Amino acid sequence: MLIGEYTHTLDAKKRLSLPSKFRKEIGKKVVVTHGLDSCLFVYTLKEWEKVAEKLTELPLGQADSRGFNRFMLAGAVETEVDSIGRILIPEYLKGFAHLKGKVAVIGVHDRIEIWNDKAWGEYKKRIEKQADVLAEKLGEIGVL
């Protein structure tokens, strides 16, 4: 299970260390793609296949599902994890998520997300403020 929050740095060569806790789970190849809320999604090959399948099930006739498909699929890169657990972030994805220097790497169960550190900080603040609203929802789905 991929959970937790880590701060790593994207170096001059666009390399990014993945947290050592994730290494065993992810294997040696991952798929990086455009995420939602201006972050990147990183999937294991296995998870990616599931996602891709779901995407292709979307009705091709609708313009916006075509768009979403292209957004997710065309933006995806299969990349190897190097010997010490780093991946390469292509320029266009780096630009998309405004990555530079400090970067937040977060585990969200079945995928990893990569955020600009500041953006993540602000996003988190927003979410934490809504904690009581969230709590109600938690109650609704029977978590708490």
**Number of residues in contact with DNA, rule: CB under 7 A?**
21
Q: Among 71, 85, 110, 119, which residue sits at the site for DNA (rule: CB under 7 A)? A: 85
Residues 6 or more apart whose Cβ sits within 8 Å of residue 71: 34
- DSSP classification of residue 90: -
Q: What does 69 bind: DNA, its own copies, none (CB cut-off 5 to 8 Å by kind)? A: its own copies
Largest CA distance in the chain: 46
CA–chain centroid gap for 138, Å, is: 23
Check if the beta carbon of residue 25 is closer than 8 Å to that of residue 112.
no
Cα 71-76-119 angle, rounded to 5 deg: 75
Among 11, 37, 49, 122, binds DNA (CB under 7 A): 11
- Of 8-16, 22-30, 75-83, the segment contacting its own copies by CB under 8 A is 75-83
- Of 108, 114, 112, the C-alpha closest to 7 is 114
Candidate list 1, 13, 53, 131; residue touching DNA; CB under 7 A: 13
Interface residues with its own copies (CB under 8 A) are: 1, 3-5, 21, 31, 34, 36-37, 51-52, 54-56, 58, 60, 63-64, 66-71, 73-78, 90, 92, 96, 106-110, 113, 123-124, 126-128, 130-132, 134-135, 137, 141-144
